[in-house]
Structure formats: C-alpha cells, structure tokens
Amino acid sequence: MTSAVTTLYPCPSEFGQIQKLIFWRRGNYKSVASALQATTWTSLLTATGNTKALVAGFVIGKVTAGEAREAGGGNETKDGIPVIIGQQPSVFEGQLIQRDQDEIRLLKAIQCETLDVIFVNENGQFGYLDTLYNGSTTGFFGIPIGGLQINDLEFGDFDGKDQNKIKFWMPANWSNNFEISAATTFGLTLINS
C-alpha cells in the first residue's frame, strides 16, 4: 500500500463549472507548457486533418461518476454483501444554449470519430489527463470519450432558451490522471477557425 495522504493541510482541488469543451482526435497530445500558450491553440484550431482541435461553444453541464458494478448479494455471497467487480463509465450531460444550427451540424459530424475531450472551466483552466492509462507517457492529453450524442434543437418556448443537448461517456477510472492547469487568459475565448 502506498501512502495517499502525505500533507496535513493539502490545498483543495476543485475544477468548478465546465464552460467549454474542446475535442480532438485520439492520439493527440502536447506538453503541458505548450498547452498553456495561446499560439499552440491557434495552430490546433487552424490545423486540418488529424491534429485539428474543435471547440464547442459555451456549454452548461456536468460529469456524473459511474456507479459500482456489483455481483451477488443476498444468499449469493458471504453475509449478503455484494462483490464489487468494477465501475460503470462516467457521463457528461449538458446543453449548448442558443447555438446557431450550422455550428451544431458541424459538431454532429464528429459523433462517429474516436475523440478525446478537454474541459475548460470558468477560470480558463484546462481539465486534462497528465498521463496515459499505461502510465508510460506524460504530457497534456484529452480524456477519452465514447458515444458522443448531440441532439436536435429543442425550443425554449416563452420561458426558456433554445438548446441542443450533448452527452458522452468516459471510461471507468478516467479521472485517475486528471489534472487542472494554471488559469489562462485565452481558454474561454477560443473559437474555431
């Protein structure tokens, strides 16, 4: 067993509100230092092909952690206590509010891609992975996602706002290597080229 708590009063870690999503194809990564430079993102957003990054407009949503996968219980296991055999995937569910449907159409076109996501919070900080799952490479990686779904337009009627719902799943234990970058002045101003 490895020591988990090594500081009496560690700084709290809080990502906060997800306000933007950045997608790129699986396999892309940067150094942490380069990911904190606006010129890197200018290059990624203007790129074509496999290195291109795509920003979804402002989003309202949250990540819900996957529940435990259980087997047994009752007379099937000792003392009726189920055996934990793993964890369900986590899910992000959100809404793209009052977005032009030309933008939505282009986002729908990436639903079949093998993608990673990078979260951007209200402080312009990036939520990313600092290590691949195999632990062999460190850097600035997106979080693997699957099942990306962007719904058709929902009208807000008199009292609401028009929206397109967005949803995707992240594998169990996706947050084991989750990191929060330093705040940037450009994270929330990124737009597609």
Structurally, how many domains does the chain consist of? 1
- Residue 100 belongs to some domain of the structure: yes
- How far apart are the C-alpha atoms of 175 and 86, rounded to whole Å? 15
- Residue 69 belongs to some domain of the structure: no
- Residue 73 belongs to some domain of the structure: no
Query: By the 8 A CB rule, do 150 and 56 touch?
Result: no
- Residue 31 belongs to some domain of the structure: yes
CB neighbourhood size of 109 (10 A): 11
Query: By the 8 A CB rule, do 32 and 182 touch?
Result: no
- Residue 153 belongs to some domain of the structure: yes
Query: By the 8 A CB rule, do 188 and 55 touch?
Result: no
pLDDT reading at 19 higher than 80: yes
- Residue 2 belongs to some domain of the structure: no
The arithmetic mean of pLDDT across residues 159-172, rounded, is 96
Which of 3-12, 31-40, 79-88 has the lowest average pLDDT? 3-12
- Residue 134 belongs to some domain of the structure: yes
Q: What is the pLDDT of residues 87-139, one digit of tens each?
A: 999 999 999 999 999 999 999 999 999 999 999 999 999 999 999 766 677 89
- Report how far apart, in Å, the C-alpha atoms of 145 and of each of 19, 23, 97, 125, 157 are: 18, 10, 22, 20, 32
Nearest Cα residue to 180 out of 11, 13, 8, 6: 13
DSSP bridge pairs for 93: 62, 167
- How far apart are the C-alpha atoms of 140 and 118, rounded to whole Å? 9
pLDDT for the residue numbered 134: 63
Segments forming the whole domain that contains residue 123: 18-63+87-189
- How far apart are the C-alpha atoms of 24 and 117, rounded to whole Å? 7
pLDDT for the residue numbered 4: 72
- Residue 57 belongs to some domain of the structure: yes
In our burial notation (b when 16+ CB lie closer than 10 A, e otherwise), range 151-164 reads eeeeeeeeeeeebb
In the numeric block, which tokens belong to residue 177? Answer: 């290597």
Nearest Cα residue to 126 out of 39, 28, 16: 16
